[in-house]
Amino acid sequence: MQLAQKVIIADDHPLFRAALKQAVMQAVPGVEIVEADSLSAVQGAAEQHVDADLILLDIHMPGAHGFSGLVFLRGQHPGVPVIVVSGSEEPHVMKRAMDYGASGFIPKSSPLEVISEAITQVLEGEEWLPQEISSVADLPEEDYKFASALASLTPQQFRVLTMLTEGLLNKQIAYELSVSEATIKAHVTAILRKLGVHS
Report which residue type is found at 168: L
Average of per-residue pLDDT values in the chain: 85
The mean pLDDT value for 16-30 works out to: 92
Report which residue type is found at 146: F
Task: Please give the Cα distance from 120 to 154 (Å, whole number).
Answer: 31
In this predicted structure, the answer to whether residue 3 has a pLDDT above a threshold of 70 is no
> Any idea which architecture 153-195 has in CATH?
Orthogonal Bundle (1.10)
Task: Please give the Cα distance from 18 to 6 (Å, whole number).
Answer: 16
Domain segments of the chain: what residues?
A: 6-124, 153-195
The mean pLDDT value for 165-174 works out to: 87
Using a pLDDT cut of 70, give the percent of the chain over it. Answer: 92
pLDDT digits (tens, 9 = 90+) for 93-150: 888 888 888 999 999 999 999 999 999 999 999 999 886 555 455 666 777 777 777 7
In this predicted structure, the answer to whether residue 12 has a pLDDT above a threshold of 90 is yes
**For 84-92, which contacts have Cβ atoms below 8 Å and span 24 or more sequence positions?**
84/57, 84/58, 84/59, 85/11, 85/16, 85/20, 85/56, 85/57, 85/58, 86/58, 86/59, 86/60, 87/60, 89/130, 91/131, 91/133, 91/135, 91/136, 92/136
Using a pLDDT cut of 90, give the percent of the chain over it. Answer: 38
pLDDT digits (tens, 9 = 90+) for 67-91: 888 988 988 888 999 999 998 888 8
CB atoms within 10 A of CB 45: 17
The mean pLDDT value for 60-71 works out to: 83
Topology of 6-124 in CATH? Rossmann fold (3.40.50)
Task: Please give the Cα distance from 141 to 29 (Å, whole number).
Answer: 41
- Ramachandran area for residue 139 (φ above 0: left; ψ -120 to 50: alpha; else beta): beta
